[in-house]
Amino acid sequence: MGQDTERKDKLIEIVLDDASIGRATPDIEHERAVAIFDLIEENSFHPVGDDTGGPYKLVLSVVDSKLVFDISREDDAKVVIHVLSLTPFKKVIKDYFMICESYYEAIRTSSPSQIEAIDMGRRGLHDEGSQTLNERLDGKLEIDFDTARRLFTLICVLHWRG
């Protein structure tokens, strides 16, 4: 644990802009909280060109159909703001939601092999979204694939309105 607390290239706080996400059901709020917790627990995050280093805070918001990464230091000093078009993510997010619905339905009614097949497809779409995010952040943020996966989960949760 000492090694992790010494590492500076990481996120220590994530805030979702309330105006971007709106109101949600308690289940969706729980999913958002879990996604944030998982990301904070384990991540590798460094804005390209930032020589001072972190740890970092991230405010995620959606403005004019764009995903905004507002990054600051632990002391709230601004580091950088990156804005990404959500267009490259729309199809994979839509497909991911559809397969998640199928997965949750299958858990109640299908055989283990059918559930496993749907889950493999779900993981494949999750990986595709994570890869797209990694590509879109190239030259902006240095993140590992696991952090990209957790961020993609959070981006999906931002769009999950129930």
Could you tell me the mean pLDDT of each successive run of 10 residues in the chain, 162 residues long? 60 85 67 86 94 93 90 96 93 87 86 91 92 95 93 81 51
Q: What is the pLDDT at residue 157?
A: 75
Structure-token match 């030259």, residue found: 139
* Structural domain span for residue 95: 2-159
Q: What is the pLDDT at residue 92?
A: 92
pTM of this structure = 0.83
Q: What is the pLDDT at residue 21?
A: 67
Q: What is the pLDDT at residue 20?
A: 66
Q: What is the pLDDT at residue 145?
A: 92
Give 100: exposed, middle or buried? Use CB within 10 Å, 0-12, 13-18, 19+.
middle
Closest CA to 140 of 86, 90, 37, 71: 71
Q: What is the pLDDT at residue 31?
A: 74
Q: What is the pLDDT at residue 2?
A: 41
Rg (CA), the chain: 16
**Number of compact structural domains in the chain:** 1
Instruction: Pull the structure tokens for residue 132.
Output: 């797209």
Instruction: Pull the structure tokens for residue 89.
Output: 């993510």
